[in-house]
Amino acid sequence: MDIRTVIKEISVIDHMLNLSVEVVCDHYRSGIRAPRIELVLDNGEDSRRMVMHVLTFGTDEKDETAAAYSSFQYFMEDIFWDSRWNECRLWLDVEYDGAIYRHVPLETEACEAGRKNVLTFMGDHYRLHFPEGVDSSYKMELNIATSLVAIVVHLVNALIGVILLPWFCFDTLAMLLLGTEYVEGDVGGSFLKRYIFYVSWRYFGFGRNRKGVAGMKINILQLTYQLLSAFRRKKTSLLFLSSRRKDLTGNFEYVYDYLKDDSSLKIRFWLHPEEIRVMSLPAILDLAVKASGAKVILIDDYVLFLENMGISRKTKVMQLWHACGAFKTFGFSRTGKKGGPLQKAVTHRNYSYAFVSSVNVAKYYAEGFGIAEKKVIPCGIPRTDMFFDEQVRAEKRDRLFSEYPALKDKKVILFAPTFRGDGKQTAYYEKNRFDPDRLMDGLSGEYVLIIKHHPFVKLKYKTEERNRDRIFDFSGKSEINDLLFITDLLITDYSSVIYEASILNIPMLFYAYDLENYIATRDFYSGYEHFVPGRIVQTQEELLEAIRSEDYEQEKVEAFCRENFDIRDGKASSRVAAFIKEQME
C-alpha cells in the first residue's frame, strides 16, 4: 500500500507553528478507521512525538483512495523540554489499517509560499528552522516573598470556603431533594453518602488546585523543597515515591528486592495515596526533605505535585509506569481533547527516564510523556516477573483454591472491565450492561464467574440464590494479577490487564458495548479491532454465544504477547535495578 503526505500549510507566526497536513492512502474499504498521524521533531539533542488529531476522513469512490486532514498549532517554546534551539528535523509517521509507516515522504508544493521561510529540504528530510532561536528551558525560580504571600492568600481562600460551608450544605440538600444533581456517571449509595460527597465536592472545588487548601499546601511544599535543595548535596539517596499506594507493592516491591542489600545505597520511601488537599502537613514536609536529598526519585504513576516542586536538575526522576504496553491514550497524546493536558504543562516532561515493557511501545510512551524516545528504556515491567516463575504461579493457585474451594475444578471466567468517567470521583460502570445471573443461567454448571471491577467503581450486584455458589464478587479484594493464575477466560473491554493475561496465554473476550464512544472520547494508540487479542462482542447475547461456542480467536494472543514483551525471561526487575544503580553512580 502507498501512503503519501501533503503539507497544506506550514508557517511560524508569533512563536506559533501552524501546520496542516493531508494523508492520502491508496486503498479504502468500509470499516477502516482514520489513520493515526504523528509529527516527529528532532533537534539533535532532544526529540518529540506529537499526535495530530484527524479532523476529517473520507474516500474518493472513483479511485478508492482515502484522505485524512489534520491541522494543529504548536507553541515553539513548548515543543522541546529544557533546551534552547533554532532548527530541527521534521517528519511524519502514519499508522493505517494495522500497518505502521515511518518517515512518510512529504510533498510541500501545496504550501510553497508559506514554507520558504521555515522549511528546508535537506536531501532525505526536511529541516524546520526558526532564525531567532527558541528558548524552551524550564525555569523554576525561588521567590520567597511571592511564595509566602501565596500561602497567605490560599489560607484566606480556605477560610472563605469554611464561611460558605452552610450555603454548600443547604444548596446540596435542595439539589438532592429536588433531583437536580448532576455528575457524569452514577455517584450511588445512600442519601447521606451522596450528601457528604456533594458537600465535599463543592467545598474542595471552591479551593481546588490553585487556591484554598490545596494551593496553600502546594506552595508550602514548593518553598520547603526549593530552600532545602539550594543547600543539600545529592549523594546516594534513592527515593521510592508514590501517590497511588501506601505499601511497597507492585513494581516497587520487585525492584526494592534487588536493591535492598546494597549497602552503598540510602533508600527512602514516601508512599501516600492521598490527594494533596487532604494530606497532612508533616507528610508534605517529609516529602520535601526526602526529595531534596535524593539523587534518584522513582515513581510509578503521574504525580501531580512533582511539577509544582520544580525538581532540581541534579535529581533524576525515573518513571516505572504501573501499566504494561500502550493501550489507551494518556498524557500528551490527549492534548487538544477533553481532559488532556495543555501544551505548556510540565506533567510528565521532567522525567529523566521511563521504563516500558517493549521496544515496540517506546514511541507511544515518548509521545504520551512528552519526552525523547531515547529516554524510554525497554527493560520490561518488574511485577510481571512472577508470571514467568512456575513456583509462584503454583503457590498463587493453591492459595486461592484453598480460600475459595468452590472455584476448584471449574472453568473460571474473570469479568474485569475498566471504568467509565474522567477519574476517581466520577468513575462508573453501567450496571444494566452486564447481568451476572443471566450469563450464568445460560452456561452449564462447569462455569463459575469472578467479578473484579476497577477499584474506582463502587458497584455491587444482587445475585440470585440459585447462583450464589457460582458468582463471586472480588471487587475490592484479591489482586487481579493473582486471579489470572486461576482464570480460564478473561472478559474485559479496555483494561490493561490484557497484557498480563497474554503472558499466561489466557483466552479473552472483549465486551466493548460502547466502543465508538470510547474511541471518540479516549481513543487508543492502535486501531482497537486490529490490536486486541480476542473476539470483540457488543451485546451480552453475543458474549454468551461466544462462550458457548468457545469462539475466542485465541490465536491472536501469542503474537500480541511477543509484540508487547520482546524480552520474556522473568528478569525485568534485575534490569531495572541495574539501570538505577548505574545512574546512581
pLDDT tens profile 187-224: 667 888 888 888 877 776 665 544 566 777 888 888 88
Q: Cα–Cα distance between 90 and 95 in angstroms, integer?
A: 17
* CATH number, domain containing residue 482: 3.40.50.12580
DSSP bridge pairs for 91: 40
Task: Verify that 321 and 260 share a domain, yes or no.
Answer: yes
H or E element: which one contains 540?
A: helix 540-549
Q: Is 214 a member of any domain?
A: no
pLDDT on residue 209: 42
Render 240-285 in DSSP notation, one character per residue: EEESS-SSS-HHHHHHHHHHTT-TT-EEEEEE--S-GGG--HHHHH
Q: Which of 172-181, 316-325, 539-548 has the lowest mean pLDDT?
A: 172-181
* CATH number, domain containing residue 64: 2.60.40
* CATH number, domain containing residue 317: 3.40.50.11820
In 3D space, the residue among 422, 417, 436 whose CA is nearest the CA of residue 514 turns out to be 417
Please say whether the beta carbons of 262 and 246 come within 8 A. no
* Angle 517-520-523 from CA coordinates, rounded to 5°: 105
What is the grid cell recorded at 523? 481513543
Cα distances (angstroms) measured from residue 132 to each of 87, 139, 328, 480? 10, 20, 38, 54
Structural domain containing residue 45: 3-135
Task: Verify that 304 and 415 share a domain, yes or no.
Answer: no
41-58 mean pLDDT? 92
132-145 mean pLDDT? 75
Q: Cα–Cα distance between 147 and 153 in angstroms, integer?
A: 10
Give how many domains the chain has, as a whole number.
Answer: 4
The residue ranking higher by pLDDT, 63 or 447, is 447
220: amino acid identity, one letter: I
Q: Is 215 a member of any domain?
A: no
Cα 385 to chain center, whole Å? 21
Name the domain boundary from 135, 161, 183: 135
pLDDT on residue 210: 47
Is pLDDT of 68 > 90?
Answer: yes
Q: Is 282 a member of any domain?
A: no
In 3D space, the residue among 41, 35, 32 whose CA is nearest the CA of residue 23 turns out to be 35
Task: Verify that 560 and 466 share a domain, yes or no.
Answer: yes
Q: Is 264 a member of any domain?
A: yes
Task: Verify that 486 and 441 share a domain, yes or no.
Answer: yes
Q: Cα–Cα distance between 402 and 295 in angstroms, integer?
A: 45
Q: How many residues in the chain? A: 585
Task: Verify that 376 and 412 share a domain, yes or no.
Answer: no
Name the domain boundary from 100, 135, 170: 135
> What are the pLDDT digits (tens) for 369-392?
999 999 999 999 999 999 999 999
DSSP bridge pairs for 221: none
In 3D space, the residue among 86, 74, 62 whose CA is nearest the CA of residue 16 turns out to be 74
Task: Verify that 417 and 559 share a domain, yes or no.
Answer: yes
SS3 call for 353: strand
Q: Cα–Cα distance between 347 and 356 in angstroms, integer?
A: 18
Is pLDDT of 142 > 80?
Answer: no
Q: Is 343 a member of any domain?
A: yes
Task: Verify that 298 and 253 share a domain, yes or no.
Answer: yes
56-83 mean pLDDT? 87
Task: Verify that 107 and 46 share a domain, yes or no.
Answer: yes
Q: Is 187 a member of any domain?
A: yes
In 3D space, the residue among 129, 92, 86 whose CA is nearest the CA of residue 107 turns out to be 92
In 3D space, the residue among 251, 8, 236, 201 whose CA is nearest the CA of residue 109 turns out to be 8
Q: Is 242 a member of any domain?
A: yes
What is the grid cell recorded at 86? 533554532
Task: Verify that 360 and 447 share a domain, yes or no.
Answer: no
167-176 mean pLDDT? 88
Q: How many CB atoms lie within 10 A of CB 250?
A: 20
Q: How many CB atoms lie within 10 A of CB 34?
A: 21
Spatial CB neighbours of 448, under 8 Å, sequence gap ≥ 6: 406, 407, 410, 411, 412, 413, 470, 471, 472
> What are the pLDDT digits (tens) for 299-342?
998 888 887 788 888 899 999 998 899 999 999 999 988 778 89
Mean pLDDT for all residues in the chain: 88
Q: Cα–Cα distance between 341 and 333 in angstroms, integer?
A: 9
467-495 mean pLDDT? 91
Cα distances (angstroms) measured from residue 210 to each of 217, 238, 287, 303, 350? 10, 30, 20, 16, 21
pTM, to two decimals: 0.85
Please say whether the beta carbons of 313 and 229 come within 8 A. no
Task: Verify that 378 and 412 share a domain, yes or no.
Answer: no
* Angle 545-549-550 from CA coordinates, rounded to 5°: 110
H or E element: which one contains 71?
A: strand 65-75
Cα distances (angstroms) measured from residue 472 to each of 24, 267, 413, 467, 546? 51, 40, 10, 9, 21
Q: Is 228 a member of any domain?
A: no
pLDDT on residue 188: 65
Please say whether the beta carbons of 429 and 417 come within 8 A. yes
Beta-sheet strands, E only, within 357-506: 376-377, 411-415, 447-451, 471-473, 489-492
Q: Cα–Cα distance between 263 and 523 in angstroms, integer?
A: 46
Please say whether the beta carbons of 223 and 154 come within 8 A. no
What is the grid cell recorded at 401? 483454591
Task: Verify that 174 and 196 share a domain, yes or no.
Answer: yes
Task: Verify that 109 and 40 share a domain, yes or no.
Answer: yes
